[in-house]
Chain A
Amino acid sequence: MSVAWTCVIAIGLATVLIKATGPVLAGQRELPVRAGRVVELLGPALLAALVATQAFADDEQLVLDERGAGLVAAAAAIALRAPILVVVAVAAVTAGLLRALA
């Protein structure tokens, strides 16, 4: 089998299993209250980590670039109570313009 197909099959299978683990194995069980409170906080913890890495990580380096500027602009739009579509557009336009000017 070629290297490409080896990757496709192995990664595909692994991803199917990873995504299904929680919903198939844990979905029907009643969690203890304390565990439920931890699971509830996975949302904010993981989302905030996605924000941080997608705005400030470039492979294994921390960087301050146009994406960071876009995030600051987005935060300003959120503070002004802009709708979510505007928030996303403001970030993209900010980053795109800064790159065009650079």
Chain B
Amino acid sequence: MSAPLDADRLARLLEDAVGSVRPRAGALDSIRRGARRRRATHRAAAMAAVLALLASGAVAYAAVRGGAQPPSGPASGRTPVYSPPASPTGALDWDVDGDGRPDSARIVALGKGDRNTRFELVVKMSSLGTQRVPFTAAPALKLPPNGPRIVGSVDADADGRAEIFVMIDTGASTQFWTIFKLVNHRITQVTMAGRPVRLSVGGSVMDISGFSCSHSRGDFTTYGYGALTYGARSQRWSVGRDTYRWDGARLVLVSKQSTTIRASSASPRLAKYAGIRCGDLPQYAPR
């Protein structure tokens, strides 16, 4: 039977184990960008809530006055802001296994209720049969209508097989997407820095994120900008661009650039740091 470990020796061993762990370059910038994005999301969510309240008040007022029905809105009690899309989680056709024949994908919930965060991507491939990949997303309550949505599919890495993009979280103006791809005959969730990839998409006037994929170079780039100062006379922005290469189911960081520029919010210099430029993927997942 071994003796208990001496506390001082443990402290030395632990210090030795993590002594080489240092902040990576750009950590502070990442935090600042994240904080700005968080504030913008909160502001937009608050604004949406106010608009929804005003809209529902208007509907109630119209009902009390015996006025006409809302012009194009869904059933009473819902405002256009939260109107549900036509199809629940999407079921579309692409060539995921690269055999030239269409495959289909859909999302099913693994748990029940509004707070469920466990889902499964079910991909039916013509050459490999049906495969299921569990993944986690924001609670179903946050994701209209009842969970994550398949955004679309595109051959982002130019390997002849389509990757599937899925929206897994959303705020009022920012969405988060993840990617699934076929690797070694298995549908796998793509990772970035050891975690399931979570791409930030869209945003507000003050803060935008997006990504692009390049068929010719086979690389994948995420980018974004955030306002450092936003006045009538002067607008200063922090812009950044991270380039990744595909390695199986991983996106491996190749280069990281960030700088500060002065430009108006309508400037083309900023526009190149916004939007989705990857095949025919939409700018936002349908709500």
Query: Are A and B co-members of a single complex?
Result: no
